[in-house]
Homo-oligomer: A and B are copies of this chain.
């Protein structure tokens, strides 16, 4: 065994970096879309990097996966049909399937290798892949959403990499129009929306594109996520109309365990600090 060394991700758009002390490289594959690397770290379990960007660690992925799923599912009155675009590590799928009312959850990631790597190195995230309600597709999410039957979905979760490379087309009006059409009137679109500290412009731009596609109500929820730049991340929810009151009692009485999400945390995440609120709400 070699001595531990450090693996950094320099995040150029924000001029900041995140790093982990690693023991060794466990795996690497160059898929048709991107390079996926797996490292063993000294304190964070395994790490997955895609094209050099930290995607997840064993230790802290619960923050992201819980916040990408439960706020939306407890905001919708009765979510049954869920589609996840991206999300190849299967962690969001696992959280979605914890909701007993969900009848079907489709995960559509363009890169099968992400899921194969997750099965090997993050098996706990894949433990619901055999659920009869789960359907794993390895296909183009843009084409999948464009082909969805109108008004057939309750929730669309866009669990993608940053808006460069394969995921670029998941952050524009054309894609959001497909989501809008596929969602029922009370449906919810959720997307990871980067760091509210340094990338507020991106959140505003994303909301602008969603608005052009017909969405009229937005909610951005911040949460801690150490493996992403600045350690502070967010998801943004969009609806065709209406607000974001959530089923607080159902969330408090939920039949499954979560480590970060709770009814209280959901309510608390709705309170944006002044410097974020001023930019998003002006």
Binding site for B on A (CB under 8 A): 4, 6, 8, 10, 12, 14-21, 41-44, 60, 62, 197-198, 222, 224-226, 230-232, 257-262, 264-265, 267-269, 271, 273-275
Asked whether, in the complex, the Cβ of A8 is within 8 Å of the Cβ of B15, the reply is: no
Rounded to whole Å, the gap between the CB of A211 and the closest CB of chain B is 25
16 additional contacts (CB under 8 A) given A260-B273, A262-B273, A262-B274: A8-B17, A8-B19, A12-B21, A15-B21, A18-B18, A224-B231, A225-B231, A226-B231, A231-B231, A231-B232, A257-B274, A259-B273, A260-B275, A261-B274, A265-B273, A267-B268
Asked whether, in the complex, the Cβ of B16 is within 8 Å of the Cβ of A44, the reply is: yes
Rounded to whole Å, the gap between the CB of A55 and the closest CB of chain B is 16
Contacts of A6 in B (CB 8 A): 8, 10, 17
Copies of this chain in its oligomeric complex: 2
Knowing A10-B19, A19-B16, A224-B197, say if A271 contacts B268 (CB, 8 Å): yes
Most buried by B among A14, A62, A258: A14
CA–CA, A21 to B68, complex, Å?
Answer: 30
Q: Which residue of B lies closest to A269 (CB)?
A: B268
Asked whether, in the complex, the Cβ of B226 is within 8 Å of the Cβ of A232, the reply is: yes
Please name 28 pairs of A and B residues whose Cβ atoms are closer than 8 Å in the assembled complex, sorted by A.
A4-B15, A6-B8, A6-B10, A10-B21, A12-B21, A15-B20, A15-B21, A15-B42, A15-B44, A16-B19, A16-B21, A17-B18, A17-B20, A19-B19, A43-B198, A224-B224, A224-B230, A224-B232, A258-B274, A259-B275, A262-B271, A262-B273, A262-B274, A264-B271, A265-B271, A265-B274, A267-B268, A268-B269
Asked whether, in the complex, the Cβ of A259 is within 8 Å of the Cβ of B271, the reply is: no
Q: Which residue of B lies closest to A230 (CB)?
A: B226
Contacts of A226 in B (CB 8 A): 16, 197, 230-232
Contacts of A275 in B (CB 8 A): 62, 259-260
Rounded to whole Å, the gap between the CB of A52 and the closest CB of chain B is 14
Contacts of A267 in B (CB 8 A): 268, 271
CA–CA, A206 to B15, complex, Å?
Answer: 34
A232's partner among B43, B232, B268, B274 (CB-CB below 8 A) is: B232
CA–CA, A224 to B16, complex, Å?
Answer: 15
Most buried by B among A16, A60, A225, A257: A16
A231's partner among B15, B20, B230, B271 (CB-CB below 8 A) is: B230
Q: Which residue of B lies closest to A9 (CB)?
A: B19
